[in-house]
Structure 1
């Protein structure tokens, strides 16, 4: 049962490449008044921002609130979390220096916070999701792209300019498929919902609109080409995840995003393979699906505003010292 919205509830805005979503996050971690639309990024930043703000007002109306205590916004990067500016995000082509933070603060008459979506989702899962009680947590979102974040000994890892934790751009196949970034063979190029669907269309040109969800269903029903593609996806995800586990030695790994809705079809073979590949000292990391895998972005967006973490003033560009 949802907690009633309180004056301390915050408005969560999740700006994804496939969908935009809004909801109120209560102090108890409930999401109320969820609204979702397709992003349609080709319509440009002005139109997309107008639409996500309209959804935000609908969420407030559904919760019976006139204004939130604060607004939390997440998006893929690169971004400037101090000034609230999106700098050419990889999932939103032709967006250049969009000041979404200040725009949201003015629209909703409340302070705003902007954070990388993977970073925020890691914090959201740590505060309100299956990551509660963990000491060190890794989070991967398998969605339009592959994002990531880490909470290390209770402190979210941010990076020099607030864009750290881009686990999706870990190389898993040298010289492989072109990624959304300038490189080839990244985890995102194989394990995002976008890339899974693209690879499925290449193998089955008679299915020009197949989605990642449909591919998983075909694999589960034993269609050979679909099973092989899904098996390759699991193997490459296991390679990337094993490298991260060997580096961080987390006690918990959380998977979110639309692809994580595959549930046991994803979790069971992935956990078995990672256990085989990991160094013995790090093989005990528990891999889990988020309670609300398609809503981790909203949970993260709200969490960064509802439970802000102490942070230094981050420079907008890395500072390099010469010793």
Structure 2
């Protein structure tokens, strides 16, 4: 029988889990539950354990499980420190609790962006080197560094929070190019735009509409993504210079705009980086899509 792991992706909206084939990344027994109802129960970790129990009852051969969480965890990867989306579980020693309940099973905990980054190494479609930077563009901006196939933890265990780097306009990076901020930028630029554009001018531009307009060559849409790309590019320069890593993977929901932000990203990189970095620089779109969190969690078991 193929080696299989339990992958658990805890998010602010849903908790997803499934059995992952360690060779192929194929997911079976997929299960998703609304996070809110578990929060309201006042027994989040018990409800999580109940869902795990069902998975393990149906798959008794599975001995390891990985868990990705959206927030800060202890350096020993045993306990939760600050899970902003689910504050009820702050301070919980989740790994000891689960290993006590499921004797003979091992569980591994990681920040969700770190887990998703590691998942690209083990399950991604494109081969990546053993050192790379992973950046997620979505509601916020997350990130991770994988060095020698290991998550870079930093001093206290929670390194690589690129969304909180200082950026333009006296804001951190994710308050410039997170999803809400991207749409604010788009609607603001639309209000001042004098040329032709297919983008609506009633303040209701969507990310889908923005990408569709850019795909048609709409000059305003491309100008909006140019601004986002320039801001992101400056942030990437800092990460590359500090970590000396020149392979970058871009993931997350807003990575659909990848090809439209890349001209400006490349412009900033070429402006700031020396030939030492440029000769080996590779920026690619991450490949795991919606499965990144679950596959990333499972990859912690390797």
Instruction: Indicate the TM-score class for this superposition, using the shorter chain for normalisation.
Output: 0.7 to 0.9
**Which structure has the higher relative contact order (CA within 8 Å, separation 6+)?**
2
Bigger shift: 195-204 or 226-235? 195-204
2:234 pairs with 1:248: no
User: Residues 46-65 of structure 1 correspond to what in structure 2 (within 5 A)?
Assistant: 46=42, 65=59
User: Which residue of 57, 68, 78 maps to 2:72?
Assistant: 78
Paired position in structure 2 for 1:88:
82
Q: How many residues align?
A: 289
Residue 277 (structure 2) pairs with residue 291 (structure 1):
no
Alpha carbons 2:120, 2:288 under 8 Å: kept: no
1:189-228 map, 5 Å: 189-197=175-183, 199=185, 206=202, 211-221=206-216, 226-228=221-223
Q: Structure 1-normalised TM-score? A: 0.73
Contact 1:12 1:299 in 2 (8 A): yes
1:285-307 deviation line (CA, Å, top 9, x unaligned): 101111113322222211112x1
Say if 2:113 is the partner of 1:118: yes
Consecutive unaligned residues in structure 2, runs of 5 or more: 191-199
| Structure 1 residue aligned with 2:165 | 170
Cα distance change of structure 1 residues 268 and 224 upon mapping to structure 2, 3 Å threshold: closer
> How far is 1:85 from its partner?
2.3
Mean Cα deviation higher: 266-275 or 114-123? 266-275
Q: What is the rounded CA distance, in whole Å, between the counterparts of 1:193 and 1:219 in structure 2?
A: 16
List gaps (5 residues or longer) in structure 1.
176-184, 308-323
**Larger of the two Rg values belongs to structure:** 2
From the superposition, tell whether residues 280 and 115 of structure 1 become closer, same or farther in structure 2 (CA, over 3 Å).
same
TM-score with structure 2 setting the length? 0.77
- Specify the alignment match of 1:237 in structure 2: 232
Between 281-290 and 86-95, the greater mean CA deviation after superposition: 86-95
Q: Is the CA contact 2:131–2:245 (under 8 Å) kept in the aligned structure 1?
A: yes
Q: Give the Cα–Cα distance (whole angstroms) in 2 for the partners of residues 137 and 245 of structure 1.
A: 10
- Compute the displacement of 1:121 (Å): 2.4
C-alpha separation in 2, matches of 1:215 and 1:28: 38
The offset of 1:218, in angstroms, is 4.0
Instruction: Please say if 1:303 is aligned against 2:289.
Output: no
Residues 173/54 of structure 1: CA separation in 2 closer, same or farther (3 Å cut): farther
Whether the aligned pair in 2 keeps the contact of 1:213 and 1:259 (CA below 8 Å) is: no
1:45–1:297 distance in 2 versus 1, CA, 3 Å: farther
- CA separation in 2, counterparts of 1:287 and 1:80? 31
- 1:239-273 CA-partner distances (Å, limit 9, x unpaired): 10122112223241111221223343344553454
RMSD: 3.5
Cα 1:50–1:227, aligned 2, differ >3 Å: closer, same or farther? farther
- Please state whether the residue corresponding to 1:87 is helix, strand or coil: strand
Q: Using the alignment, how far apart are the partners of 1:170 and 1:216 within structure 2?
A: 26
* Range that drifts further, 237-246 or 120-129: 120-129
Question: Does residue 151 of structure 1 match 2:146?
Answer: yes
1:188 equivalent in structure 2? 174
Q: Which range is displaced more, 166-175 or 49-58?
A: 49-58
